């Protein structure tokens, strides 16, 4: 059975407010509800950066699954980490976005998306990692990109699926993971869990 046909048999909830995740989720599941998880994003201080996305995706998934116990709930969290290990969330303002883009300029960084699937008391959590290399960016390129408004609601202050693609030299791994949802791996995990 195809993943789309399989998913039509379930009540599916995407626990994310991201319009990009919603769009990508439609590749797997033709019909689902969006119920953003509002359970905070506090992370234990000693947690390794690589573990943060899985931890947060599980928190979001569990928060919604506790209320909608018969649904298949999918929680996600994406983290951008510099080569020096600094986690970059969404920028607070344009100045913060410029700071982040300067950190990424001419260097490699990782994009880690944690995904958790909760269904009837069972949970499957995984993290997908993609390496991204930025071109050397001029101050003018950074300013022009910030003026598009695109960086302001995205981890790492860029969207690879939009004008942010002009900042990227190359990637290694899943493109959709950088957008916010590793579609292929999620489809495999859902199929394994539900079929």
Which residues are identified as catalytic? Answer: 77
Q: Residue 68: is it exposed, middle or buried by C-beta count within 10 angstroms (0-12/13-18/19+)?
A: middle
Beta bridge partners of 92: none
Alpha carbon distance 106, 49 (integer Å): 22
Alpha carbon distance 157, 104 (integer Å): 10
Beta bridge partners of 132: 109, 171
Structure tokens at 31: 């019909």
Distance, first Cα to last Cα, the chain: 8
Alpha carbon distance 29, 35 (integer Å): 15
- The C-alpha R_g of the chain, in whole angstroms, comes to 17
**What HEC string does 154-179 produce?**
CHHHCCCCCHHHHHEEEEECCHHHHH
């Amino acid at each position: 059975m195809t993943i789309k046909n399989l998913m039509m048999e379930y009540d599916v909830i995407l626990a994310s407010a991201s319009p990009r995740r919603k769009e990508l989720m439609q590749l797997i599941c033709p019909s689902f509800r969006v119920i953003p998880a509002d359970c905070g994003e506090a992370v234990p201080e000693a947690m390794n950066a690589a573990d943060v996305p899985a931890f947060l995706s599980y928190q979001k998934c569990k928060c919604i699954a506790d209320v909608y116990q018969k649904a298949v709930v999918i929680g996600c969290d994406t983290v951008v980490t510099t080569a020096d290990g600094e986690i970059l969330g969404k920028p607070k303002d344009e100045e913060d976005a410029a700071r982040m883009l300067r950190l990424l300029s001419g260097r490699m960084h990782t994009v880690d998306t944690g995904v958790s699937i909760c269904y009837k008391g069972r949970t499957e959590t995984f993290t997908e990692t993609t390496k991204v290399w930025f071109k050397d960016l001029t101050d003018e390129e950074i300013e022009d990109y910030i003026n598009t408004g695109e960086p302001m609601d995205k981890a790492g202050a860029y969207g690879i699926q939009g004008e942010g693609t002009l900042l990227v030299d190359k990637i290694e791994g899943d493109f959709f993971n950088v957008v916010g949802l590793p579609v292929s791996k999620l489809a495999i995990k859902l199929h394994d869990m539900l079929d």
